[in-house]
Amino acid sequence: MDFTIREAEPGEYARLGDITAQAYLADGHLDFGADDPYLPTLRDVAARAAEAEVLAAVDPGGTVLGGVTLVLAGGPWADIAQDGEAEFRMLAVDRAARGRGVGEALVRACVERAQDTEGCIRLVLSTQASMRQAHRIYERLGFVRTPERDWEPLPDLPLLAYVLDLPGAADGGAPGGG
């Protein structure tokens, strides 16, 4: 990999917020485009970082390529995570960095962090039906569609749920894998 995954730094929040907002806008995931009420939330990385873990993919020159937010059940940024689960949200990769494995590396980092969290047995996420490229990453990494956990944060905005049981959880091993 020609990039590193690490916790986002405050000086990178604005750039990561722009990447996240632009990814959702350019890929058509916001019903109201530039006027969508979710857009300020996507841009506000500082708010997420204050209450959750925000990871960034950064190249050797310090350019932020993408990011993701990871939160444990009960955290203010958790939507569907239940006890013993972690959840990731707002996975986004700069258009210029796509095709380099950045998105997959960010998801793998979430898996590793969830495995390293004591008592965490599962990693969950919500996604829009239109986010097919992301779905391929999730499925390749072992996430399973879980329709019984699908939900609608707003009318006519159905979100699909995916779940990954972490190693050791199904066979009675130590929760969190480490």
Query: Residue 24 is part of a domain; what is its CATH number?
Result: 3.40.630.30
Average pLDDT estimate for 114-128: 96
Supply the pLDDT for residue 175: 39
Residue 1 has pLDDT above 50, yes or no: yes
d(CA 52, CA 163): 19
Residue 176 has pLDDT above 60, yes or no: no
Average pLDDT estimate for 130-144: 94
Burial 14-33 (b: 16+ CB within 10 A, else e): ebbbbbbbebbeeeebbeee
User: Could you give the percent of the chain with pLDDT greater than 70?
Assistant: 93
> Minimum mean pLDDT among 17-31, 39-53, 139-153: which range?
17-31
Domain region containing 102: 4-177
Average pLDDT estimate for 97-121: 97
Residue 151 has pLDDT above 50, yes or no: yes
DSSP assignment letter at 148: G
Q: How many structural domains does the chain have?
A: 1
Q: Measuring CA to CA, which residue among 7, 27, 14, 178 is closest to residue 93? A: 27
Residue 121 has pLDDT above 50, yes or no: yes
Predicted structure pTM score = 0.90
Residue 168 has pLDDT above 80, yes or no: no
Supply the pLDDT for residue 56: 98
What confidence tier does 169 reach under pLDDT thresholds 50, 70, 90?
low
d(CA 77, CA 97): 26
